[in-house]
Every structure is written in structure tokens, then in C-alpha cells.
Amino acid sequence: MIKPNIFTRKFLLIAAIVFGGVSVFAQGQTPSGDQSYEAILYVLIGSDDTAQRGDLPKSLDGVARQIRDTFNFKNYRLMNTYYGRVANNGSLDYKSVSSLKHVSTELDSPTFLDWQLANFKAETSGAGRSSLSVQQFRFGARVPVLMSQPGAPGDKSVPITNYESVGLTLNRLGIPENSPTLIGTISLPRTTGTVFLVLVIKQV
């Protein structure tokens, strides 16, 4: 049996230390934390009411051209902007009491709003580009509607307020990163015009 000489033994010892250290280092590495993304929901309204003009943000120029090419309203304006932050494989759920500013309604009562991004996922393709998807997007609103109830004979009718629910739900939604995207429209009860939902998701 051939015994290794001193040089060989030293070489094997050094190799064991080096490769053993590399192995321990590799096993000790932890994956980086989930990257955060910001989700911005722009709620726009288009109508033929030229008395209430408004400017859209410059960042929405591209999607604004798409809307104007598809719809024939004379005026488009920003109603509200909503912001949320979500991590990869996370969800976002927003609820609020608000007013639909820049909308002509019969009442000044509050509107109950909620929107949700469920099971958000960001994946990197082979070309290094991010692919963003949402298992479910939901936007809902409970809007006040003025009704009238008949009074006693000879009396005026009694006004009452009812709430009607409107909303939009999308399943398995894909969206490009950092690109304003029109994802749906909603008609509000007893108002003029159409609501447009524009979503932007970008890495923080």
C-alpha cells in the first residue's frame, strides 16, 4: 500500500478546509427578503359634462390616449388615487369611507369603497424581465341613491337614502410592470359618465 507523502497530506488537508468552508458558507446563505411593490389605482371618470374639466396626470398619457380612442366622452378627469404596498406572494385589501369628488350626484352622502389585490406574484423570466400577475382583483363601491317614500295623504313624499353596490372582479390578471393599464370600467347609478380603473404596479 502506498502511503501519501507529507506534501500530499498537506494538500489534502488544505483542500478539505477550503471546500468544507465553501460548503458551510453556501449552506449558511439565506435567500433575500421578498421584494416590495407599490400598487397605485387611478379612478378616472369620462363624461360629456364640460363644466367640470380636469387634467389627468402626465404619467397616464399613454393609457389616456387608449381611452380616448375607444370612448367618445368630451371630458376626462381624475376622481381619486389609491396607494398600497404589497410583497411577492402577498395580498392587499383596502377599505375606506370616501366621497366621489367631481361626480354629480343627488346626495352628499359618503361612499363606501374597497379594492383588493389577492395573491400577487412577481416572477423573473429568462430575459430578466418581471412578469406580474394577480389571482384576483376586486373593486367595489356602495353608492348612495336618493329615493322617495310616499307620505300621508296631502303630505309631501319623504326622501330616503338607499345604497346600491357596484363593482368589478377579475380573476387571473396579468399586468406589465410600471405601465399604467386600463383594467375595467364601471357605470355609477344615477350619474353621468363612466368610471375607468387604471392600475400601476412597480417595484419599490
Looking at the fold, whether 13 and 77 belong to one and the same domain comes out as no
Looking at the fold, whether 51 and 114 belong to one and the same domain comes out as yes
pLDDT at 8: 53
More confident position, 187 or 27: 187
pLDDT at 103: 52
Looking at the fold, whether 130 and 89 belong to one and the same domain comes out as yes
Looking at the fold, whether 17 and 69 belong to one and the same domain comes out as no
Which has the minimum average pLDDT: 32-36, 88-92, 143-147, 182-186? 32-36
Confidence of residue 180 (pLDDT cuts 50, 70, 90): very high
Looking at the fold, whether 52 and 122 belong to one and the same domain comes out as yes
Residue 178 has pLDDT above 80, yes or no: yes
Cell numbers for 112, please give them: 363606501
Which has the minimum average pLDDT: 72-86, 139-153, 180-194? 139-153
pLDDT at 26: 36
Mean pLDDT of 26-51: 72
pLDDT at 19: 44
Q: d(Cα 73, Cα 191) in Å, to the nearest integer?
A: 14
Residue with cell 367595489: 140
Looking at the fold, whether 193 and 154 belong to one and the same domain comes out as yes
pTM, to two decimals: 0.73
Cell numbers for 96, please give them: 375606506
**Please, how many CA atoms are within 13 Å of residue 89, restricted to the half-sphere of its CB?**
2
Looking at the fold, whether 146 and 172 belong to one and the same domain comes out as yes
The 3-state secondary structure of the chain reads CCCCCHHHHHHHHHHHHHHHHHHHHHHHCCCCCCCEEEEEEEEEEEECCCCCCCCCCHHHHHHHHHHHHHCCCCEEEEEEEEEEEEECCCCEEEEEEECCCCCCCCCCCCEEEEEEEEEEEEEECCCCCEEEEEEEEEEEEEEEEEEEECCCCCCCCEEEEEEEEEEEEEEEEEECCCCCEEEEEECCCCCCCEEEEEEEEEEC
More confident position, 44 or 25: 44
More confident position, 156 or 20: 156
Looking at the fold, whether 42 and 24 belong to one and the same domain comes out as no
Which has the minimum average pLDDT: 36-40, 58-62, 115-119, 142-146? 142-146
Looking at the fold, whether 83 and 23 belong to one and the same domain comes out as no
Domain that holds residue 62: 31-203
CB atoms within 10 A of CB 135: 14
Mean pLDDT of 88-114: 75
Q: d(Cα 197, Cα 75) in Å, to the nearest integer?
A: 16
Looking at the fold, whether 12 and 60 belong to one and the same domain comes out as no
Q: How many structural domains is the chain composed of? A: 2
Residue with cell 390578471: 173
Confidence of residue 137 (pLDDT cuts 50, 70, 90): very high
Confidence of residue 17 (pLDDT cuts 50, 70, 90): very low
pLDDT at 162: 82
Looking at the fold, whether 42 and 121 belong to one and the same domain comes out as yes
Looking at the fold, whether 72 and 166 belong to one and the same domain comes out as yes
